[in-house]
Amino acid sequence: MDWKPHITVATIVEDNGRFLMVEESKGGRAVLNQPAGHLDPDETLIEAAVRETLEETGWDVEPTSVVGIYLYTAPSNGVTYQRVCFAAKALNHRPDYQLDDGILGAKWLTRDELLEQREYWRSELIIRCIDDYLDGHHHSLTLIRPSL
């Protein structure tokens, strides 16, 4: 059996109790997710988090900590994803930035607003990452070691 997990990153960006979320089209329906995506070749995890956040929201961010590392197997396709979730601060919004294909737009939502829209979550990782962030899981970026 040839099993390979998919390495992904996600970013928690908070502003006064609201979280930067992405509305995207997946399987013919609109879903909500953190800014997130796959690690590209020759890219660090931190670079991937910054890139994905910009490509999906139009926001430049600066990662400040690691929230957690998660394994998730998608029930829709059986693919296992390893997500490295970062906390980041928003630096600059580029409202005219051309967002990735399939991205409908960015939204700032509170945790309660997210709970009210549970049927639109891309996965349960959304609330797990936010709750870990709110519970104070902020690990040093030095946890992410450069490749040799």
Per-residue pLDDT for 2 more than 80?
no
Instruction: Flag the least confident range among 79-93, 97-111, 134-148.
Output: 134-148
Number of H helices, E strands in the chain: 3, 7
Architecture of domain 6-140: Alpha-Beta Complex (3.90)
Structure confidence at residue 148 (pLDDT):
60
3-class secondary structure, 110: strand
As a whole number of angstroms, the distance between CA 93 and CA 57 comes to: 8
Task: Give every CB contact of residue 53 below 8 A, 6+ residues apart in sequence.
Answer: 11, 13, 20, 35, 59, 60, 61, 88
Radius of gyration of the chain, Cα coordinates, nearest whole angstrom:
15
Q: Tell me the pLDDT of the chain averaged across its residues.
A: 94
Q: Is the pTM of this model over 0.85?
A: yes
